[in-house]
A and B are shown apart, each in its own frame.
Chain A
């Protein structure tokens, strides 16, 4: 298998720039664990992929290497590359999504902090998996927000994505947040208790599968070009015997704000190390400099090295951690995060493997299903406003809860702009097999629908 690696994952033989001017040509002294596991399993690593700087962005336009252009074009179109419509590939793993979609590699690794795998997967029309937090080792993955970062996988189809996941999902002692082997087996045991025949059937009977549609995941901004194909797909699933029920995750509306506070705060902390002293960009002090303290000296390099988006988030995150703001922003966001997690735990059938006591929920669902994005890929030259931040609204809750989420392409309606769409399958922690099985079922059905 040929694999592309997002440029915020360390490779010892190729530069790791994180698409930032702060790390021009940076050569890591070690490989990330996931990179080492890939090489050991015989995969061919073909290169590093473009991304938003340090993983911060939803459109992959914040990059020192330039924006990523979505390689999609409608099957009927014969326009040359330079003539076709330039749209965003999504971010922050836009490079990985584009590489897979255009056939440059079979699969690609990326990272997903708030949707950075699932959003490009949806925009580019490929499969994107954000595994449960703690399953894939983060050793060698440049930290953006430690409590949210996950290594993710993008592939042409569910099968190859699943294969890659199996090769990489193992305990690594170097990652202090890695789930221990006992926890992983506990999750396997619990999820296997709830397996019904539908999981092993292909294009077959989905009877017994309970799918929840979260009511709060259909904001006003969600256009019909998304809702219509999504509904069609859900109807097909029902037709195969699946039970589809509405569920409610009442704290969803707070998720985006909570996410940005937590992610920015952690980012301001994780990016404090980029001072140009041990490695990275060092801008010599101008002769007439007024800089006296270390912070002032560092500011000269950091101002030149970081892009505008990263600077914005560092400032926001620094503020959220100040003594004045801490209680009202950071602490409050953490409380909301817990409430959002609790929302998910209430609706799932499979009990939480991370909790000590397991509670049964007979009315629970196996997985949740919702659109991956509120729109198709936006044009690259579109004005950036607050909407760029709201792109994440559907992906962020699963990140806050640390749950596995898989984006699978669904066939758009002919009435729309024809650009790719995705549906997200979200499961209980550690239940990748269940999530991937549902994803496979959707892929099979969509394949049928498209012919």
Chain B
């Protein structure tokens, strides 16, 4: 049965003061740009969910490069007789984001229709979650600002199409590729206090969303959009009237807009006037915000529960399975690698290389450097593994101008190589040779096979090693005599000859020992 829950806390609600978190009433930090004033900022971030298909239709999501209206199904274009079908992948990815933001996933959420007329909204309504969103609460810590921003809620909704207005021809062109794409709206509490904090918040949110594969979170490409709410108040006073700024296309513009708006509102209040509750736009050329719509002109969206979509019911076991399957967050990864015994330096390198790895559509992970490392470390010494990866593999890849994801050496091959070197089947230098060979001539062949082919297998049996040493001793009688007479350093010449003639397959340490043994007896 439909029950309308209370609307999210309004700006001036009691909740702002009743929670224990300090941001809301933090007065100690004064910003020199507006002494005596406090700027209160809240953000509504819309992130495109990185699902293969759209939220309610089975059309493939498009990217900015697609031809207009090439990814549109009858449902997306709101043809008569079409009905929505929820794409579970979108829910999974939004759940990942909610879990990463420590938000409370609601076991029951519902979908509502938000009605308004606009060319990029073919159905005349957008499906969103007004009354019962997917997740409530949560927070994001901003290390540079040393502040925690609380999340109000996270909800699923449809994206609109795109309209391009050509003023010369007085024509609006409509591209419905984007119509119906899944969006995740993350609404923050008004905990931000400066443009810099807002910028850090967006960047941190982008990083979180990317690390769990929920969204590319790219403002320039349109996979992330921000609406900002700004109000000002004298320090110690309750929050003032807020204005919403829409259509901000980059973090930089957002920060400029916040600065302008803060000063605009302060100037008004200083002059004894009041701030009107408005929706404002941003002029990128002048850096100013401008009025779009007053409170009276604000549309009534006539929210109505969507009768076609049953409530979304989630079991706690399901949410836990998402938690277990999703990629780990950066700080969790770092902690785990420290436990493996890696140095900070090694961890930094691995994480940098790993962050360049792709999380594809529907959250599918392609193998990153860290996953590679972890798989290889099973049953092996992690320090040895990480040295091979960082000093040999990454180095050689970079020499060949290749990125990690272009590494042709499989886990089995790499593991086999490391084992062969550790077990003495090939010398260290032979191992490096093999690795370079495998990079230059990619195949699925086991390194032992390759080593045999290339005659790189170490001379192991003491018999043949002794034979080799005796041969060289016979070939270099002067040097041999010198060693016997008590000149131990000359042994290096003999050693060098043996290594050279064995093409590096002989292990230097064993050769030295054998030579010493042979030359010590008269």
Contact = CB atoms under 8 A, between A and B. Distances in A.
Interface of A: 9-10, 16, 18, 23, 26, 28-30, 32, 138-143, 145-147, 173-177, 265-266, 268-269, 272-273, 275, 277-279, 293-295, 298, 318, 321-323, 326, 330-331, 334-335, 338
Contacts of A176: 83-86, 308-310
A277 B81 contact: no
Contacts of A272: 115, 117, 123-125
Contacts of B307: 145-147, 177, 266
Contact of A294 (B117, B302, B308): B117
Given A176-B309, A294-B117, A295-B116, 7 more contacts: A23-B80, A29-B74, A147-B307, A174-B83, A273-B124, A278-B79, A330-B304
Nearest to B299: A295
Contact of A279 (B2, B79, B119): B79
Contacts of B84: 176
A429 to B, nearest CB: 15
Interface size class of B (residues with CB under 8 A): 20 to 34
Contacts of B300: 322-323
Contact of B304 (A23, A143, A269, A279): A269
B113 interface: yes
Nearest to A18: B80
B77 interface: yes
Contact of B77 (A16, A146, A278, A295): A278
Contact of A278 (B78, B125, B303, B308): B78
Of all A-B residue pairs in the complex, the 9 with the closest CB atoms, nearest first, are: A272-B124, A321-B302, A147-B307, A146-B307, A295-B117, A273-B78, A142-B80, A140-B81, A10-B81
Nearest to B1: A338
A62 B509 CA distance: 100
A293 B308 CA distance: 29
Given A272-B117, A298-B117, A321-B302, A277 B83 contact: no
Nearest to A319: B302
A278 B113 contact: no
B34 interface: no
Contacts of A28: 79-81
27 contacts: A9-B81, A23-B80, A26-B80, A30-B74, A32-B81, A138-B83, A139-B82, A139-B83, A142-B81, A143-B80, A143-B83, A146-B308, A173-B85, A176-B85, A176-B310, A177-B307, A269-B124, A269-B302, A272-B115, A272-B124, A275-B124, A277-B119, A277-B174, A278-B78, A293-B117, A294-B117, A334-B1
A273 B122 contact: yes
B17 interface: no
Contacts of A278: 77-79, 122
A175 B308 CA distance: 8
B79 A29 contact: yes
Interface in B1-29: 1-2, 4
Nearest to B113: A269
Nearest to A293: B117
A25 B118 CA distance: 25
Given A30-B74, A176-B83, A269 B125 contact: yes
A326 B308 CA distance: 19
Nearest to A323: B300
Interface string B71-109: 000100111111111100000000000000000000000
B302 A16 contact: no
Given A177-B308, A272-B124, A321 B115 contact: yes
Contacts of A139: 81-83
A323 B299 CA distance: 10
A38 to B, nearest CB: 16
A384 to B, nearest CB: 27
Contacts of B309: 176
A174 B174 CA distance: 27
B81 A318 contact: no
Contacts of A279: 77, 79-80
B303 to A, nearest CB: 8
Nearest to B76: A278
Contacts of A293: 117
Contacts of A174: 83, 85
Contacts of B123: 272-273
B299 to A, nearest CB: 9
Given A23-B80, A28-B80, A318 B310 contact: no
A265 B308 contact: no
Given A147-B307, A177-B308, A272-B123, A10 B1 contact: no
Given A28-B81, A174-B85, A273-B122, A322 B117 contact: no
